[in-house]
Amino acid sequence: MLKVGYIGLGLMGKPMARNILKAGFPLVVHNRSRAAVDELVAEGATAASSPADVAAQVDVVFTNLPDSPDVALVALGEDGIIAGAHEGLIFVDNSTIKPATARHIAAQLAGKGVPSLDAPVSGGDVGAQQGTLTIMVGGPAEALETVMPVFRAMGKSITRVGDAGAGQIAKVCNQIMVAAQMVATGELLILAQKAGADPQKVVQAIKGGAAQCWTLDVKPPRLFAGERGPGFKAYMQAKDLNIVLDTAREYGVPLPATSGNAQLFSAMLQMGMGDLDNSAVIGVIEALANEKLNIP
C-alpha cells in the first residue's frame, strides 16, 4: 500500500487527509500550525518536521496551500519537497494556483525524477469531509494511475484533463462558473424579495427548470438560515478570480462578466467579509440595493 504525505491541513486539507487515513493509507502530515497535526496524529497519522521530511518518508506527497508562492516554496524551497526527493516519489498538488506555476514546479521536480500532478478540487468543505470532491488532474497518466486509489478516498469524480498545468486550467474554468453562480444567486434573491415575491418560493419555482445548478440547490437554504460562514472563504474566491484574470490576460481572452464578478468579491474583502462563505457575496448586493435578505 502507498505511504502518503499531506502538507497543508486547512479547511480543505485536513478532512481530505483524514479521508486518506480512514481509507487505510499510512499517513505522514505537516502543517504550519500544530493543532491540526496533533489532531490527525491522535487518529493515527505520523508528524513530520518539514516538507523535505515528509517527502523522504513517503511514496506520494500532497500539498494543499493558499496560493502559488506557497506551493512553490514548499515544493522547491530550502527544506522543501525537492530536498526530500527520491526514486519513486510522486508529487500531487491539491491547491488552486496559476497554471504557469504548476508547470514550473513540474519541470523542476522532473529534473529530480519526480513526476507531478496538479490536482485542484471542487466541492467545498462538505465535499472534502464526505470524500465526494471533483478532482481535475494535469500530469502524466502513469502517475495518475499510481495515485488513483488515494484520489478515490478523496473524491467521486477524477478526470485527467491533460499534461502539466491542465488541472489548474480546468480549475480556472470552474471558478469562472462558481463565481457567476454565487453572484447570480445573490442577485436573484434580493431582486425577488425587493420586487415583492417570496425568494424561497422563487427558488423552489426556478430550480426545477433551466436555472437548476448545484449552487441554487445548496446555498439558498443556508442563506435563509442566516448561515454565511464557510464553506469556501470569500478571500479564497477572490484570490482564485485573480488567477483566472491573470491567465486570461496571458492568453488574450476577454472575460467581461468574470471581471465584474471579481470586483464584487474584491468589495467583499473591503467590507470585512473575506472570511465568510463565497455565497455571502449577497452582502454586496444587499448593500447596493439597500435591501437585506429576510431570515424566515
Read off the pLDDT of residues 78-130 as tens digits, 9 standing for 90 and up. Answer: 999 999 999 999 999 999 999 999 999 999 999 999 999 999 999 988 899 99
The answer to whether the beta carbons of residues 91 and 81 sit under 8 Å apart is yes
Q: How confident is the model at residue 247 (pLDDT cuts 50, 70, 90)?
A: very high
> Range(s) for CATH 1.10.1040.10 in the chain?
169-289
Q: What digits encode the pLDDT tens for the residues 178-192?
A: 999 999 999 999 999
pLDDT on residue 241: 98
pLDDT on residue 26: 98
| Burial letters 9-27, b for 16+ CB under 10 A, else e | bbbbbbbbbbbbbebebbb
Q: What is the mean pLDDT of the chain?
A: 97
Query: For the domain 169-289, what is the CATH superfamily, name and number?
Result: N-(1-d-carboxylethyl)-l-norvaline Dehydrogenase; domain 2 (1.10.1040.10)
pLDDT on residue 80: 98
Mean pLDDT of 12-34: 97
Q: What digits encode the pLDDT tens for the residues 128-176?
A: 999 999 999 999 999 999 999 999 999 999 999 999 999 999 999 999 9
198 pLDDT above the threshold of 90: yes
- For residue 164, give the nearest of 123, 133, 136, 135 by alpha carbon: 136
Task: List, by residue number, the catalytic residues.
Answer: 171
> Range(s) for CATH 3.40.50.720 in the chain?
4-162
278 pLDDT above the threshold of 90: yes
Q: What digits encode the pLDDT tens for the residues 121-137?
A: 999 888 999 999 999 99
pLDDT on residue 161: 98
CATH number of 4-162: 3.40.50.720
214 pLDDT above the threshold of 90: yes
pLDDT on residue 124: 87
Residue with cell 474554468: 173
The answer to whether the beta carbons of residues 51 and 79 sit under 8 Å apart is yes
Q: In this prediction, what percent of the chain has a pLDDT beyond 90?
A: 97
204 pLDDT above the threshold of 90: yes
**pTM assigned to the model:** 0.94
pLDDT on residue 31: 98
pLDDT on residue 296: 80
Residue with cell 485573480: 242
pLDDT on residue 167: 98
CA 168 to centroid of chain Cα atoms: 10
pLDDT on residue 119: 98
61 pLDDT above the threshold of 90: yes
- The whole-angstrom separation of Cα 117 and Cα 115 is 7
